[in-house]
Structure 1
Amino acid sequence: MLKKDSLIKGTLILAAAALTARFLGLFQRIPLDYMLGADGQAAFNQANQLYLLLLTVATGGIPVTISKMISQRYALGRPEEARQIYKAALLFGAVTGVLLAVAMFVLAPQYAELSKVPQSTLSLKAIAPALLLFPIIAMTRGYFQGRQIMSAGAISQIVEQILRILGGIGLALIILGLGWGDEWGAAAIAFGSVFGSIGAFVVMLRYARKLKRQDKAEADKETGAIRQTEAAAKPLRFRSIYREIFTMSIPAVVTAMTVQFVYFFDQTFFMRLTASFYNEESALEVLANYSTKAMALAGIPPILAIALGASIIPVIASAYSLKKMDEVQRQASLVMRIVCFTGVPVALLLTVAAYSVTGLLFTSPSGSGAVALLTAGTIMQITMMTTNSILYGLDMPRLPMMHTFVGFGLKILFSVALAPWMGVYGLIVGSSICFIVITWLNVRRINRQVKLNVLGRRWAPYMAAIAIPAAAGWGAEYVVLGWTEAWAPKLSYLTAGAAAAVVVGGLYVLLLAALRVVTPEDIRSFPGPLRKAMTLLLKPFYKKSR
């Protein structure tokens, strides 16, 4: 029997699934660097990024909207309306999937020419069929979330990633073994998304059938009066359903596609914008490093922000609907504080140890400069995502959408201005400016409703708790790399990265306590799992200070 999940349990399930999916996605990029040359990597990453953008446009925000609509109908005792909404969502997903898949397949040569990576045509066509099923899968996940059955979407997400990796890498090994070359190898890896979509679809189909049987069994137990009331319910028109879906979801779609748009823009126009900075061969190599290494590692720090965003919206929305502004202020400030204390050190470590981490995971540390700068920028990406969630909780979904459009404009402007004389670093600076401006606009608007009190007078000690570990971690990595220069490269990178992690992590925790950046009162306000972890880490320091 399928059981409903509580809010906290549901959030933990979704967060765990997102974390697992992110790491599995990273492990798809690592073999890519070993199996393909720069041309093949550029081809796969171009196709994959366009696919992810189209998928976000087609489904971003809509599953969340559907989950809200479904949960509202069931709460009001209108299951028949919920089923009508589900049918309308499936129809929309099916039609959208066909249109996007056909468009991507047919227009693949034109897009490859626009991006000046003509070898990506095959990869674009290979990944296009995955768009047939994923919009339907997304709608089904939204329905199950509305029924508070989070495990269905979580399991399908993990199965999807596993089959995507095993299917794509396995097929590529066969293709490359036959001597078909990097272009076909990249297309084979891209086709792994089709395997993933089929696996996820099968999982959701099994859950849907099980839930349907369960609903039927429960309906058979209902009294005749309840059945008559449900039968007499006026059917909803698809037009009104779609109006409700799009009114609620369009702002969420725009904000959800921020990161995907930024990366899509960089990959599409990289060759054109950097033509005066690199020659064609160098540009392809830098593009391969940027898209395979930097973008993959930069996806790790924001995982916590995604989980926090999912959990904080209903909490703030509930307090705001009851006009408990003190509670809204407390919760909004708390989530920003948690982001500062937990999200920043991950980005910090990947920034200062970028050389060793890149060298350890990939074929060489080339491109580690881009890795360092891009992961440093994820600090602002995390705050952008979190403040977006706070504004959603304050029932202001259009504001982050408008702020996102401003950020897009600045991203394009600064990228066009800086890339010709800074290369890949100009594009990354443009992205960071985009995230910083969106965050600033969001915070300014939140402060009009409730005054955020993130750290107050503790900002200076907090910056010291970041700067000192960063400098010490970089120094530790540099020293260990020199000391282990005669070792096997991978062992040297592992040792240096581990040394940097110990120094950065240890000093960061020590300074948080020594400088009283994190107080016992802060720890008591954190969610259960985080409270236990922080207590375990900081309790010895507070005992010594008494």
Structure 2
Amino acid sequence: MKKAKGQNLVVGAGVLALAGLVAKVLSAVYRVPFQNLVGNTGFYVYQQVYPIYGIGMVFALSGWPVFVSKLIAEQSDDPLNQQLIARRMFWLLLGISAGLFALIYGGAPVLAILMGNDRQLIGVIQAVAWMFWFMPFLTVGRGFAQGRQDMLPTAISQVIEQIVRVAVILIAAYWAMNHDWSMYRMGAWTTFSATIAGLAATITLTASLRSVWQDPLPKALGKRPEFAWSRLFKRLLDEGGLLAMIAALLVLLQLMDSFSVKVLLEQSGLTATLAEATKGVYDRGQPMVQLGMVVATGLGTSLLPVLRQHILREDEDAFRADFQMTMRLSVLFSVITTVGLIVIMPTLNQMLFGSMQGSKALSWYSLTIIPATLITVLVATLQSLNRTRGLGWMITATILLKIGLNALLVPGWQIDGASVATLIALLPLTIFTIVRIPRFVWSNWRPSRWYAKLASISIMVGSLAGFCRYYGSLVLGSSRIASIEVTLLAVVVGTGAFIGGLVWTQILSADEWKALPKGDRIYERLMKRK
């Protein structure tokens, strides 16, 4: 029975990681055809309000559901206790959702003023506010199932939600362009897609939600001190709020950009129309970073749930080994991805978005992949160790630092400054999370000459991919068709250089090869050739 249970946990973690990977790819990729349909100004309108949706999505997907699942798992031996907690969390979250809806819908005029005094954004902001009514259903439905070690409802609802949202966004954008809608009317419909997607995801969680209310509960059960409304509410704000803030960190930084970048661009001398278009160019970096983090964070997501099992079994050696392997793989993939993106950025930018405008700013923005990936892995490790003290303050400091750096850098460097501000703002939090990991976990975390091997692979990938991008552009020209050919050539050559570098430097151990998708087969072939 224990073996079967362990297998279910591993399979469940894999299913959840795969669903998260699919959802992230969908969430990043749709922005390319969307921007091509609506242009920089339309993209600006959508991206100004997107962080509000992003925060709500993180709360309902990877913030509060994790907290609810923890509460449910604490009562693993008593289904009635689980149902009581889930019901009370539902009503508490419904109250929070009502407050958030009132704040965003009623405060839309104020938010529009803060977002560059663009009052046409009021309807777009109000359209996204409706999604918060589905947050209790999504949080409790997912959290209740996860707490019972059933990851499938969360995985299915996550993918369905993204598919429906992306479909509505692209249909609305296409319709708007062919029926002379204003960019703001289009923006309202594309942001309302979150509400339609929330409804679709809730429907897929019907069975899980029904389980929450399936049994009558004795009145005495609700009078137990550990189930008191005040106690649960305090835990929701303290523990659940921290999980939500950590999960929403990058989106919160994007929200700070929505409040400040357009205003600061106008202060630097740009007209309002040009500032909106320039902010739209800057927003191209977000899907690139999301795609750049897919491999590294997907890898970390699939490996890190195992760490908690090691803690519960008090297996210090296994914990250290898995953490160190996860860190090495995450650093390797985030660094190589960043190098690859930077050297092919001009042609990649033109291939995806139709121009090379803002390529320098997007290259700076790509550098955030490295600290963002490390923070994701390190924070998850700290959570497994219950060493999260101080994280809330550091996240708050990161947000405040981002605001201050924007004010300092954007007037002079424009969107280059906004990208650099995001990068610098993440560094103190990265250092803090590294220091908070216990020393024994770091002991001998990298083999001899590991950094030298990483540098060698990075130089190989950067040099060969950059050579293809530079000389390919000289030979094939600067048209969009040429940029597609050059980018694909650079990606193929860069990928080949990466694989060749892995084999040449032997930077990966046998266990690390086997941790990668199809890595065991690749490793066996490499061993046979030797």
Q: Same fold (TM over 0.5)?
A: yes
* Worse-superposed segment, 293-302 or 490-499: 490-499
Corresponding position of 1:145: 146
Corresponding position of 1:134: 135
Corresponding position of 1:8: 10
Whether the 8 Å CA contact 1:58–1:96 is kept in 2: the answer is no
Over the matched positions of the two proteins, sequence identity in percent amounts to: 21
Aligned partners of 1:145 and 1:364: how far apart in 2?
A: 44
What does residue range 329-344 of structure 1 map to in structure 2 within 5 Å?
Answer: 329-344=320-335
What amino acid is aligned across from residue 79 of structure 2 in structure 1?
P
Deviation at 1:466, TM superposition (A): 0.8
Cα–Cα, structure 1 residues 499 and 172, in superposed 2: closer, same or farther, change >3 Å?
Answer: closer
Whether the 8 Å CA contact 1:251–1:398 is kept in 2: the answer is no
What does residue range 162-177 of structure 1 map to in structure 2 within 5 Å?
Answer: 162-177=163-178
What amino acid is aligned across from residue 251 of structure 1 in structure 2?
L
Deviation at 1:406, TM superposition (A): 3.6
Gaps of 5+ in 2: none
Secondary structure at 1:149 match in 2: coil
Cα–Cα, structure 1 residues 365 and 7, in superposed 2: closer, same or farther, change >3 Å?
Answer: farther
Deviation at 1:137, TM superposition (A): 0.9
Secondary structure at 1:191 match in 2: helix
What amino acid is aligned across from residue 205 of structure 2 in structure 1?
M
Cα-to-partner distance string for 1:335-358 (whole Å, 9 max, x where unaligned): 101212334333332232222222
Corresponding position of 1:378: 369
Corresponding position of 2:27: 25
What RMSD in Å do the two structures reach over aligned CA positions? 2.9
Deviation at 1:298, TM superposition (A): 1.0
Aligned residue pairs total 521
Secondary structure at 2:292 match in 1: coil
Aligned partners of 1:477 and 1:498: how far apart in 2?
A: 9
Corresponding position of 1:224: none
Corresponding position of 1:63: 65
Corresponding position of 2:279: 287
Whether the 8 Å CA contact 1:345–1:505 is kept in 2: the answer is no
Corresponding position of 1:208: 209
Aligned partners of 1:182 and 1:446: how far apart in 2?
A: 47
Corresponding position of 2:339: 348
Aligned partners of 1:521 and 1:149: how far apart in 2?
A: 28
Cα–Cα, structure 1 residues 400 and 543, in superposed 2: closer, same or farther, change >3 Å?
Answer: farther
- Which of 391, 394, 403 aligns to 2:394? It is 403
Aligned partners of 2:365 and 2:264: how far apart in 1?
A: 18
Cα–Cα, structure 1 residues 467 and 413, in superposed 2: closer, same or farther, change >3 Å?
Answer: farther
Corresponding position of 1:99: 99
Corresponding position of 1:108: 108
Corresponding position of 2:492: 502
What amino acid is aligned across from residue 200 of structure 2 in structure 1?
G
Aligned partners of 2:63 and 2:511: how far apart in 1?
A: 35
Aligned partners of 2:252 and 2:123: how far apart in 1?
A: 22
Whether the 8 Å CA contact 1:476–1:496 is kept in 2: the answer is yes
Cα-to-partner distance string for 1:15-39 (whole Å, 9 max, x where unaligned): 2211221222234322332332433
Corresponding position of 1:463: 455
Cα-to-partner distance string for 1:282-309 (whole Å, 9 max, x where unaligned): 3222201122x21111111223444444
Deviation at 1:452, TM superposition (A): 4.4
* Worse-superposed segment, 434-443 or 236-245: 236-245
Corresponding position of 2:81: 81
- Which of 291, 294, 303 aligns to 1:300? It is 291
Deviation at 1:179, TM superposition (A): 2.3
Whether the 8 Å CA contact 2:86–2:212 is kept in 1: the answer is no
Aligned partners of 1:59 and 1:15: how far apart in 2?
A: 13
What amino acid is aligned across from residue 92 of structure 1 in structure 2?
L
Aligned partners of 1:134 and 1:357: how far apart in 2?
A: 36
- Which of 465, 475, 488 aligns to 2:467? It is 475
Whether the 8 Å CA contact 2:50–2:191 is kept in 1: the answer is yes
What amino acid is aligned across from residue 157 of structure 1 in structure 2?
Q
Gaps of 5+ in 1: 220-226
Deviation at 1:312, TM superposition (A): 4.5
Deviation at 1:416, TM superposition (A): 2.2
Corresponding position of 1:51: 53
Cα–Cα, structure 1 residues 344 and 532, in superposed 2: closer, same or farther, change >3 Å?
Answer: farther
TM-score (norm 2): 0.89
- Which of 382, 399, 416 aligns to 1:391? It is 382
Whether the 8 Å CA contact 2:56–2:135 is kept in 1: the answer is no
What amino acid is aligned across from residue 174 of structure 2 in structure 1?
L
Aligned partners of 1:170 and 1:314: how far apart in 2?
A: 37
Cα-to-partner distance string for 1:36-80 (whole Å, 9 max, x where unaligned): 243332221111112323554677522111112212212xx2111
Aligned partners of 1:437 and 1:16: how far apart in 2?
A: 31
Cα-to-partner distance string for 1:76-97 (whole Å, 9 max, x where unaligned): x211110011101211222222
Q: In the alignment, is residue 532 of structure 1 matched against residue 524 of structure 2?
A: no
Aligned partners of 1:507 and 1:458: how far apart in 2?
A: 18
Cα-to-partner distance string for 1:173-196 (whole Å, 9 max, x where unaligned): 334433232221122211211211
Deviation at 1:11, TM superposition (A): 1.7
Cα–Cα, structure 1 residues 276 and 233, in superposed 2: closer, same or farther, change >3 Å?
Answer: closer
Aligned partners of 1:307 and 1:88: how far apart in 2?
A: 32
Whether the 8 Å CA contact 1:252–1:401 is kept in 2: the answer is no
What does residue range 357-368 of structure 1 map to in structure 2 within 5 Å?
Answer: 357-368=348-359
Corresponding position of 2:439: 448
Q: In the alignment, is residue 516 of structure 1 matched against residue 506 of structure 2?
A: yes
What amino acid is aligned across from residue 472 of structure 1 in structure 2?
L
Whether the 8 Å CA contact 1:22–1:300 is kept in 2: the answer is yes
What amino acid is aligned across from residue 511 of structure 1 in structure 2?
G
TM-score (norm 1): 0.87
Whether the 8 Å CA contact 2:131–2:198 is kept in 1: the answer is yes
Whether the 8 Å CA contact 2:343–2:466 is kept in 1: the answer is yes
Aligned partners of 2:24 and 2:305: how far apart in 1?
A: 24
Deviation at 1:200, TM superposition (A): 0.9
What amino acid is aligned across from residue 357 of structure 1 in structure 2?
L
Cα–Cα, structure 1 residues 62 and 533, in superposed 2: closer, same or farther, change >3 Å?
Answer: farther
Corresponding position of 1:40: 42
Whether the 8 Å CA contact 2:387–2:436 is kept in 1: the answer is no
Aligned partners of 2:306 and 2:493: how far apart in 1?
A: 36
Cα–Cα, structure 1 residues 202 and 294, in superposed 2: closer, same or farther, change >3 Å?
Answer: same
Whether the 8 Å CA contact 2:13–2:302 is kept in 1: the answer is yes
What amino acid is aligned across from residue 24 of structure 2 in structure 1?
R
Deviation at 1:516, TM superposition (A): 3.1
* Worse-superposed segment, 312-321 or 493-502: 312-321
Aligned partners of 1:180 and 1:111: how far apart in 2?
A: 23
Deviation at 1:313, TM superposition (A): 4.5
What amino acid is aligned across from residue 84 of structure 1 in structure 2?
L
Aligned partners of 1:492 and 1:135: how far apart in 2?
A: 49
Deviation at 1:112, TM superposition (A): 1.2
What amino acid is aligned across from residue 253 of structure 1 in structure 2?
A
Aligned partners of 1:331 and 1:403: how far apart in 2?
A: 26
Cα–Cα, structure 1 residues 530 and 406, in superposed 2: closer, same or farther, change >3 Å?
Answer: farther
Aligned partners of 1:30 and 1:421: how far apart in 2?
A: 29
What amino acid is aligned across from residue 416 of structure 1 in structure 2?
A
Cα-to-partner distance string for 1:347-390 (whole Å, 9 max, x where unaligned): 33223222222222223333333332212221221011111111
What amino acid is aligned across from residue 320 of structure 2 in structure 1?
Q
Deviation at 1:470, TM superposition (A): 0.9
Q: In the alignment, is residue 198 of structure 1 matched against residue 186 of structure 2?
A: no
Cα–Cα, structure 1 residues 521 and 32, in superposed 2: closer, same or farther, change >3 Å?
Answer: closer
Deviation at 1:207, TM superposition (A): 4.6
Whether the 8 Å CA contact 1:14–1:307 is kept in 2: the answer is no
What amino acid is aligned across from residue 490 of structure 2 in structure 1?
A
